[in-house]
Amino acid sequence: MDISVYRPGELSGADRAAWTALQSKAHLHGAPELANPFLSPEFALAVGRCRRGVRIAVLREGGEPAAFFPFQRTAVGVGRAVGLGLSDCQGVVHRPGFTWDAEALLRACGLAVWEFDHLAEGQTPFADHVTGTFPSPVMDLDEGYEAYLGRLRAGSPKFVRSTLAKERRLGRAVREVRYVHDERDPEILRTLMAWKSAQYRRTGRSDRFAHPWIIRLVRQLFHTRSDSFAGQLSVLYADGKPVAAHFGLRSERVLTCWFPAYDPAFARFSPGLLLHLHMAEEGAADGIAYLDLGRGQKQYKDSLKTREISVSEGWVTRRHPVALGHRARRAPVRALRNAVLARPELFASADRALKRMGKIRSGT
């Protein structure tokens, strides 16, 4: 096995095509998680244009690319998954049956440690370095939208009935309700980011769009389009005005739910839920196998999901003082967060406290 490490701009067109081909065929080989758009070359290259230290390791056998490992690293060898904190799927994209030695991979990449928080299923060489595994809900669409809706009705008929009734009520309250699956107006993207920033502040969360590089990244991805990858903005309109919107990433088979938000003035109609059902219907028609709702406990995710996949967090380390120091700093913070998320009573208290802080900051 030969490992070469490239800066994003150094990756050849042939290697990019080989990477995309591995993702396109992943579902045929029983590894649909590798088709996630967060594992695509487009995402890694976009992050590389916004952040320093992005590198791509190409693992070859017999001179042919067998796997691709995107990562970020610092000058002292601290490595992270590309877009750590933003990416909902991480790992090595590889051909069927290919395996690798985790420590040898880190050594070739000049890393003392590699941190991940959404490791895809099936990354067996990293299994010994996992510190926790968590459910990530999905909406299955491979049998079509009606089959998906049927599974929802079987599990929660009241939810489906009440949600569809809200769309009818919205239709009576306004002159026109319209859904656009792939909106190309950048002004609507700005509206979505403003809604999301307000939601982060209102709930006491850290505002991701307060970071200019994240705004640049989202804008770049919005304008990135090919048959195998696209940044996709979906919008629900009422009387020509957006009432809910979502920006996510699409591969040939997977649509990731990334940044959803809605106009609070329409909250009584649950526009976010309506938007996700429209996304599911149009996504199924486009050949999407599932919508990945992402790791995290949210009521709307529990209502919309039909099953769960797993993602993991942890550190791959070599015997190196940098690795020991990095893990010593990061482990207590991660452990505390997971303890709160795992206990409903602690999570509810923390959530209320964050919302109170959000109200104080906003002056409401």
3 state SS for 323-354: HHHHHHHHHHHHHHHHHHHHCHHHHHHHHHHH
Q: Which residue has the tokens 């015997």?
A: 319
Residue 47 has pLDDT above 80, yes or no: yes
Q: Flag whether the pTM goes above 0.85.
A: yes
Residue among 225, 265, 236, 259 nearest 42 (CA): 225
pLDDT digits (tens, 9 = 90+) for 266-308: 999 999 999 999 999 999 999 999 999 999 889 999 999 999 9
352 or 299: which leads in pLDDT: 299
Q: In the predicted model, is pLDDT for residue 354 greater than 70?
A: no
Cα gap 164→146, rounded to integer Å: 14
**339 has a pLDDT exceeding 90:** no
**Could you give the 3-state DSSP secondary structure of residue 62?**
coil
Which residues on adjacent β-strands are paired with residue 261?
Answer: 245
Q: Which residues pair with 74 in a beta bridge?
A: none
Higher pLDDT, residue 362 or 256: 256
Q: Are 29 and 98 in contact (CB under 8 A)?
A: no
pLDDT tens digits along 315-338: 998 876 676 666 666 666 566 555
| Crossing angle for the helix pair 157-173 and 271-285, to the nearest 10 degrees | 100
Query: What confidence tens digit (pLDDT) does each residue in 202-221 have?
Result: 988 899 999 999 999 999 99
Residue of higher predicted confidence among 363 and 264: 264
Residue whose entry in the numeric block shows the structure tokens 């976009």: 46
Distance from C-alpha of 317 to C-alpha of 111, rounded to nearest angstrom: 8
For residue range 138-148, what is the model confidence (pLDDT) as tens digits?
Answer: 999 999 999 99
Which has the minimum average pLDDT: 79-93, 160-174, 344-358? 344-358
Sign (positive or negative) of CA dihedral 225, 229, 231, 234: positive
* Burial status of residue 177 (CB atoms within 10 A of its CB: 0-12, 13-18, 19 or more): buried
Per the CB < 8 A criterion, the answer to whether 3 and 58 are in contact is: yes
Please say if the pLDDT value at position 358 is more than 70. no
